[in-house]
Amino acid sequence: MKIWDAVVVGAGPAGCACAYDLASAGKSVLLLDKSDFPRPKACAGGLTMKTVRALRFSIEPVIQQKVDRILLESRDSSRIPVGRRRSICVMTVRAELDAFCLTKTIEAGAVFQRIRRIDSIAHDEEKVVVTAADGVLHARFLVGADGANSQVRTMCSEGGTSEAGWFRKGLAIEANLRRDAHKDDLVFDFSPVMSGYGWIFPKRDHVNIGLYCIDAEEVLNRSRLSTYITQQFGDDVKTEDFAGQYVGFGAAKHSAKNDRIFLVGDAGGFVDPLTGEGIYGAVMSGQAAASAICAQLNHRATARETFISRTKDLRENLQIAERIATSFYADPQRGFRVMKNPLLRYAVLKNYADGLQLTGLLRTTRRLSLHRSSAS
């Protein structure tokens, strides 16, 4: 009977980041997905520079466009351009990016297998047993990287409830428009959604346009997106690939109690609620799980403790992002007024592009408001 060091469920950015590091460290890793690759994935495919740097290999071959300027639009139609000399983010098409990352992960030594369904997951202090429609798999560790609707999360939820209490969903829907997008701006538009934004992401021969909401209960559907597309580009444009998907929040509130099973990426709630950015959290948490598993297999520390310490900064940042998101989306116009301050604008851009300890950003905000109140 083969016992894998780790079975990773889901071969998106989180699963690949985890399996890549495990395989590179010489561990035996089986990476499972319900789809063959390339496969479509609802996602605007924007990778901030912090994400590009976190990846273990260059993704240059799948970069469509580099972006050094973003246009922020408010409900009263005012616009704030934010930019810098260096790139802020890069544009990819997710089907291409994910297939590329999977190839790199297989080259590093991970074994990929398509599965139809997981029937059950059992674990004890030594190992995990995954019963899939395609056979029974044994592993020392299991990583759930199977997205916002994670089966691993629901099957392993503490107390046997059907859903983990700390987990919360947002929603995003998108479509593609064929056009020469070389000169189009990357836009975050805070007018079309109450607790979220609309986006326009330029990708060489098309733009990806969509709506994001931190509250999965707000109705985002095809007709609402079509109305937004018409407002932006007129009604004679050809739109294709409408798709929507949940994104996962809540990692900051999750105490990761299991010693053998870790949840990463959307499955573990690692999406930033303020921006909807999930690929960074997916890559970072996937790598943290790999490092945790290696620590225990190499008898250095327990996997659970290592996972908690390796995700500490990320979870703290997500907690602060959650607070900022709640306050920002309650009154985006006030948020816009604050963004007129160049120092704060710089800090927000720097955090989005390169990653910044948000505790630092909060201190800056407090200093600025103290400064304003003493000046008035």
Q: Report, in Å, the least distance between residue 2 CB and ligand FAD.
A: 19
Nearest residue to 44 via CA among 59, 24, 26, 64: 64
Structure tokens at 266: 């959307």
DSSP secondary structure of 217-271: TS---HHHHHHHHHHHH-SS--EEEEEEEEEEE-GGG-----SSEEE-GGGGT--
Q: Helix or strand or coil: residue 190?
A: coil
Residues 12-31 that bind ligand FAD (CB under 6 A): 12-15
Structure tokens at 203: 């990708």
Q: Which stretch binds ligand FAD (CB under 6 A): 67-75, 119-127, 270-278, 294-302?
A: 270-278
CA distance 100 to 57: 10
Q: Which is nearer to ligand FAD, 151 or 296 (CB)?
A: 151
Q: Which stretch binds ligand FAD (CB under 6 A): 224-232, 260-268, 296-304, 345-353?
A: 260-268
Residue 282 binding ligand FAD, by CB under 6 A: yes
Cβ atoms of residues 110 and 22 within 8 Å = yes
Interface with ligand FAD (CB under 6 A), residue from 4, 8, 34, 64:
34
Q: Which is nearer to ligand FAD, 58 or 149 (CB)?
A: 149
Q: Report, in Å, the least distance between residue 348 CB and ligand FAD.
A: 16
Calculated CA dihedral for residues 169, 170, 176, 179, nearest 10 degrees: -150
Q: Which is nearer to ligand FAD, 73 or 174 (CB)?
A: 174
Q: Which is nearer to ligand FAD, 353 or 365 (CB)?
A: 353
Establish how many alpha carbons lie within 13 A of residue 125's alpha carbon, considering only the half-sphere containing its beta carbon: 1
Residue 9 binding ligand FAD, by CB under 6 A: yes
Establish how many alpha carbons lie within 13 A of residue 32's alpha carbon, considering only the half-sphere containing its beta carbon: 27
Task: Kindly write out the interface string for residues 121-150 of this chain, putting x where it contacts ligand FAD by CB under 6 A and - elsewhere.
Answer: ------------------------xxx---
Phi, psi of 155 (to 5 degrees): -75, -25
Size of interface with ligand FAD, in residues (CB under 6 A):
39
Q: Report, in Å, the least distance between residue 56 CB and ligand FAD.
A: 15
Q: Report, in Å, the least distance between residue 206 CB and ligand FAD.
A: 14
Interface with ligand FAD (CB under 6 A), residue from 4, 8, 10, 306:
10
Cβ atoms of residues 198 and 210 within 8 Å = yes
Q: Report, in Å, the least distance between residue 48 CB and ligand FAD.
A: 7
Interface with ligand FAD (CB under 6 A), residue from 19, 23, 31, 32:
32
Q: Which stretch binds ligand FAD (CB under 6 A): 42-50, 76-84, 104-112, 355-363?
A: 42-50
Residue 192 binding ligand FAD, by CB under 6 A: no
For the chain, how are helix, strand and coil distributed in percent, rounded to 5? 40, 25, 35
Cβ atoms of residues 282 and 17 within 8 Å = yes
Residues 311-330 that bind ligand FAD (CB under 6 A): none
Q: Do the strands 135-144 and 3-9 form a parallel or antiparallel pair, or are they unpaired? A: parallel
Nearest residue to 368 via CA among 275, 360, 331, 349: 360
Residue 52 binding ligand FAD, by CB under 6 A: no
CA distance 275 to 44: 12
Residue ranges in contact with ligand FAD by CB under 6 A: 9-15, 32-35, 41-46, 115, 118, 145-147, 151, 172-174, 210, 245, 247, 265-267, 271, 276-280, 282
